[in-house]
Amino acid sequence: MAKLTVNIDDSLLDEETSALLRKDVQAAVLQLAEAGEAGLTAIRFLVESYYDYQHLRMEAANRQRASIEAGAPQFLMQWLTSRQLNTEKTIASVLAAYCRVEKTGMGNWATATVGIGPIISAGLLAYIDMNRAKHVSSVWRFFGLDPTAKWLKGEKRPWSARAKVLAWKIGISFMRFHKNPKCSYGRIYAERKALEQQRNERGEFSELARATLEQRNIRDKETVAIYTSGKLPAGRIELRAERYATKLFLSNWWREAYRQKFGVEPEDPWIIAKQPPHSRLVEP
């Protein structure tokens, strides 16, 4: 059985209770890893709890600054915020340990990618059901990356809100690490952004810009002027580049997970089969 080190917040516990808690957490991580797919519900809960705590901690930090400025007890407010941060770190440590020992190997595969940490890696394991995701397009759609998917009034949302946020975080991470020579997806993001900027300057998005003005109620005058000129705003170019790198990463993740689960090579995406002169398959 693998030996684990899990960092937990035990600053308020006596030595005996702390040791028991650490032993229990380590046993729980190994139990979840041994449970395989059955343990992913708990992992999904931990991933979502981590981001919930992160959001609350950021809000609390803002309130803390405002309260201190208003004359509230400084150390009390700082202590309350630190409790939330410690809980956040504890969940991160548990998920990192899980990624090291889970059976598929995809936890380690993802965290070996510069820009992908244990929270995102555990989220991918929890959200992507390889029993249902027979094609990478299913993964893209579930993560809100299918441009043809529309959420019409009265219909069920065609993607997962939590998974879509995770996809956004993946893109942001590659953007932040793009200057790191070891971050291959960051390099892909940067190359794609340069290409998107060139296409935008050439006016290749004029039809998309026109459709955007027709479909959206944009009130900002500067933004309207950019779309009217037949171009996309810089922020939208940024998102397009981030989504491109994210979709490629998810495609490679899915292909490796498919190999691990079924022991055979997955089928090439339809674009590779239909348009080989115009497409290339980028392997991890």
Do 33 and 101 form a contact (C-beta atoms < 8 A)? yes
The string of pLDDT tens digits covering residues 21-73 is 678 778 888 899 999 899 999 999 999 999 998 998 888 778 777 776 777 66
pLDDT of residue 80: 72
Dist. CA 210–CA 242, nearest whole Å: 23
Please give the share of the chain, as a percent, with pLDDT higher than 90: 64
Dist. CA 237–CA 218, nearest whole Å: 17
Do 207 and 227 form a contact (C-beta atoms < 8 A)? no
Which long-range CB contacts under 8 A does 23-32 form with residues at least 24 apart?
25/94, 26/97, 28/94, 29/4, 29/94, 29/97, 29/98, 29/101, 30/1, 30/2, 30/4, 30/101, 32/98, 32/102
pLDDT of residue 90: 87
Alpha helices in the chain (DSSP H): 15-35, 40-69, 74-101, 106-111, 118-127, 136-142, 161-176, 184-201, 206-215, 221-228, 234-262, 270-274
Q: What is the pTM of this model?
A: 0.85
pLDDT of residue 1: 47
pLDDT of residue 170: 98
Dist. CA 40–CA 51, nearest whole Å: 17
Output DSSP code: residue 269. P
Q: Write out the chain's pLDDT in tens, 284 residues.
A: 455 666 665 565 567 666 666 787 788 888 999 998 999 999 999 999 999 989 988 887 787 777 767 776 667 667 777 777 888 888 999 999 999 999 999 999 999 999 999 999 999 999 999 999 999 999 999 999 998 898 988 899 999 999 999 999 999 999 999 999 999 999 999 999 999 999 999 999 999 999 999 999 999 999 999 999 999 999 999 999 999 999 999 999 999 999 999 999 998 765 545 544 444 455 55
